[in-house]
């Protein structure tokens, strides 16, 4: 019996028990994350110690930390290819995966992961919280949207309430395609105070780059009975330029061969840095650290050839709210901006930034598991 079937049986048993009970008593704790005020406060851990206390700082008390709008601006949050430039049902039963540091690749490729590290750059650990400001608005069930377009927030708030524009069948055919335009994007080996400025955080070792994150997402989806195709083709090495064109060439024949695919995910890692500081956005989920995740949903200004971009946005908002309902604090605000990113190919196409180059392999693998777990539950709930 698969784990997915066992969950269905558990769910049925819970429903029967609930009906038979003469009374139901519900209690809950609503954790409200305080929105950051105009003082631009951040929750930071600058010690590099996973168990260290967090201290609250403001932009007035530490000048090297950029303002929120700078850290969330398009040029700051997106990797441009330069490397630096018994628990509840939702929270348990993740697939047991090996530690990425212990994984041995079949081939490390032409750019292997470092075995020795320099420590000449500073790492700042922080947890992104809610934001205030004209470009941000809250989603009803958790999470936010960072609207960088000319579309009024009021319009997007209404659109955010719509369900995804695709249906999901109970089929053995693949429903999800995972691929990586910037395949070699990599991470820190472990939590530490300083990074290696001589390493551009790219490697052809698929156990140490975003392919490893895609593997974690795939494992969770398949454990829930969701068919997945994971394309691990390298698109950004040896040449970074033209990566999106090459990844498009990879996914087009897959979509043609498998019309059952509804969700197409381009898994990346971000590159958040300023003034020589690499940032490590993380959150504690069930006693383990996870890299914070950002969903990017592209908008068309009439020049990008994505007339149905709003359908991707519907899916992005539904997924964001599911992630935040399951794992409060896992996500950064959805970036809604004039971006293409091959999101014209389906109405369930999104780019996912898992952590940044300051995050660790373990944090990012765990974030991938949490993401895949929530996505699997969402897709199963949509099955007809």
Identify whether the C-beta of residue 189 lies closer than 8 Å to the C-beta of residue 361.
yes
pLDDT, tens digit only, all 384 positions of the chain: 545 555 555 444 444 444 343 333 333 333 333 333 332 333 344 333 433 333 333 333 333 333 334 444 333 333 333 333 333 344 458 999 999 999 999 999 999 999 999 999 999 999 999 999 999 999 999 999 999 999 999 999 999 999 999 999 999 999 999 999 999 999 999 999 999 999 999 999 999 999 999 999 999 999 999 999 999 999 999 999 999 999 999 999 999 999 999 999 999 999 999 999 999 999 999 999 999 999 999 999 999 999 999 999 999 999 999 999 999 999 999 999 999 999 999 999 999 999 999 999 999 999 999 999 999 999 999 998
Strand segments, DSSP code E, in the chain are 42-45, 55-57, 121-127, 136-138, 144-147, 174-179, 194-195, 227-230, 263-270, 273-274, 277-285, 288-291, 293-298, 334-337, 349-356
- Rounded-to-integer distance, Cα 123 and Cα 99, Å: 22
- Cβ atoms within 10 Å, residue 102: 7
Alpha-carbon distances, residue 304 vs 45, 153, 287, 308, 384 (angstroms): 40, 21, 43, 11, 33
pLDDT given at position 189? 98
Q: What is the CATH number of domain 34-381?
A: 3.40.630.40
pLDDT given at position 4? 53
**How far apart, in Å, do the first and last CA atoms of the chain sit?**
22
- pTM beyond cutoff 0.95: no
- Rounded-to-integer distance, Cα 212 and Cα 358, Å: 16
Q: Which of 318, 329, 221 has its CA nearest to residue 267?
A: 221
- Rounded-to-integer distance, Cα 241 and Cα 344, Å: 20
pLDDT given at position 384? 82
**Residue spans per domain, the chain:** 34-381
């Amino acid at each position: 019996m698969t784990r997915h079937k066992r969950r269905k049986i558990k769910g049925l048993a819970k429903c029967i028990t609930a009906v038979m009970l003469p009374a139901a008593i519900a209690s809950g704790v609503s954790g409200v994350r305080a929105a950051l005020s105009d003082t631009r406060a951040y929750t930071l851990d600058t010690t590099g110690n996973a168990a260290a206390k967090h201290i609250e700082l403001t932009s007035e008390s530490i000048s090297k930390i950029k303002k929120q709008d700078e850290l969330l601006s398009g040029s700051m949050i997106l990797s441009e290819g330069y490397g630096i430039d018994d628990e509840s049902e939702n929270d348990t039963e993740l697939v047991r995966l090996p530690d990425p540091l212990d994984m041995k690749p079949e081939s490390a490729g032409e750019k292997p992961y470092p075995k020795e590290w320099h420590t000449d750059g500073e790492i700042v650990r922080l947890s992104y919280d809610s934001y205030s400001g004209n470009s941000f608005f809250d989603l009803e069930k958790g999470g936010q949207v960072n609207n960088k377009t000319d579309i009024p927030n009021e319009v997007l708030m209404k659109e955010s309430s719509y369900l995804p524009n695709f249906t999901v069948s109970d089929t053995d055919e693949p429903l999800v395609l995972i691929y990586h335009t910037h395949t070699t994007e990599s991470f820190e080996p472990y939590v530490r105070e300083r990074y290696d400025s001589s390493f551009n955080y790219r490697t052809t070792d698929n156990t140490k780059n975003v392919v490893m994150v895609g593997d974690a997402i795939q494992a969770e989806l398949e454990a829930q009975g969701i068919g997945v195709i994971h394309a691990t083709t390298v698109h950004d090495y040896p040449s970074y330029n033209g990566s999106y064109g090459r990844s498009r060439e990879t996914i087009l024949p897959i979509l043609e061969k498998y019309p059952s695919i509804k969700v197409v995910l381009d898994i990346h890692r971000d590159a958040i840095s300023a003034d020589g500081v690499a940032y490590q956005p993380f959150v504690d989920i069930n006693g383990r650290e996870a890299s914070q995740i950002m969903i990017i949903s592209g908008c068309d200004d009439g020049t990008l050839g994505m007339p149905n971009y709003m359908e991707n946005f519907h899916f992005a908002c539904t997924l964001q709210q599911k992630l935040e309902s399951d794992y409060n604090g896992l996500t950064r605000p959805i970036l809604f901006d004039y971006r293409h990113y091959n999101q014209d190919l389906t109405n369930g196409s999104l780019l996912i930034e898992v952590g940044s180059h300051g995050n660790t392999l373990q944090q990012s693998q765990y974030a991938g598991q949490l993401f895949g777990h929530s996505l699997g539950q969402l897709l199963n709930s949509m099955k007809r």
